[in-house]
Structure 1
């Protein structure tokens, strides 16, 4: 009898444990079911939040719901960028609004006298028409700051110097070439008043020719008006 009683006790304990596990499982399932709201309650909650935002003075986003495809986004960005940019050479209404840019060279090797103007007779570009290939002079169509570049190659006569002369500047830019078939170059930013001239002259050195295009060039462009 005592052994049988122990067996009955063990079976009862196992039955109690199974009952407790089932009760716990039922409780968890009940809590999950209770915590999961249906769609209608979610919609009601969203409407309630929107009404609260309106009552607090928060304005709805007018862009909400609009398509945001890649093309429309890129177009919008370009429009925003365009509002803050200006085209090179453009200015306020009523003022000069053209771009000034010239690039010149020599059609053939040529020798020039001391203090004489270098006449660059080949015009590769002359936007604004400010360079005169007959005189070798640039005439400013508008007052402003200009950037000029000169490059030379000599075919003979060492120690030659060429000077970039701005009519309105007390300073000049000189390019010195020490030996034949060598090159030299210089760049200057000058303030030039409207109608005033800029040119390149032979400043110093023995007789010698300048090499033709593309080794000898004179160019410039308008940085900004003043």
Structure 2
């Protein structure tokens, strides 16, 4: 009887020991799961921060690319697209519209109006050429926002005459630059583009 009681107590002890080990293992697993959850949360936070950083970097890159594209500004155009023509005289000043576009990088020059509109603040260089036939007065000015900057003039040359001038201008975005034929003056052009207008951005401000 005593032996049976001893065996029974031994079995109960072994069972309790097994229950204790199982509970300890469960606790360790639970702790590892909690640690894994915390690590996962940290990874999610880091991933979100990385996503935001990558997006910002991409937007900055696109902005820089767009800015670099805007900085590519240059145009050159002849007065006539084809044929030959004596233009003028008029009683008032006339804006010269250069129709034969050689290049118009940045599309700042408008071949329908003859006006260059600055797309950004910067320092620009402009040059224009004018041609006249003998016995006819030729006078052309380059203007910025209705203010004359520089001019060329040839008073009834004995034979054909050419003149050119150029200027460096500091422009604000939206400023307009164009050339004007003076009243009672002529210019001539043909397929050789004796009369022309060019400009480009030196550097932005």
Q: Does 1:101 align with 2:74?
A: yes
Q: Secondary structure at the match of 1:97?
A: helix
- Point out the structure with the larger helix share: 2
Aligned length: 133
- Point out the structure with the larger strand share: 2
The runs of at least 4 consecutive aligned structure 1 residues that moved more than 4 Å come to none
2:149 to 169, 172, 178: 172
TM-score with structure 1 length normalisation?
A: 0.53
Q: CA RMSD in A?
A: 2.2
| Further displaced range: 153-162 or 133-142 | 153-162
Q: Larger Cα Rg: Structure 1 or Structure 2?
A: 1
Q: Are the aligned partners of 2:130 and 2:187 in contact in 1 as well (CA < 8 Å)?
A: no
Q: Are the aligned partners of 1:154 and 1:209 in contact in 2 as well (CA < 8 Å)?
A: yes
Q: Does 1:197 align with 2:176?
A: yes
Match in the other structure for 1:186: 165
> 1:209 deviation in Å?
3.8
Name structure 2 gaps, 5 residues minimum: 1-62
TM-score with structure 2 length normalisation?
A: 0.58
Larger RCO (CA within 8 A; separation ≥ 6): 2
- Cα deviation 1:41-100 (Å, max 9, x = unaligned): xxxxxxxxxxxxxxxxxxxxxxxxxxxxxxxxxxxxxxxxxxxxxxxxxxx948732310
- Cα deviation 1:122-167 (Å, max 9, x = unaligned): 1011000111111011111111110000001012553321000012
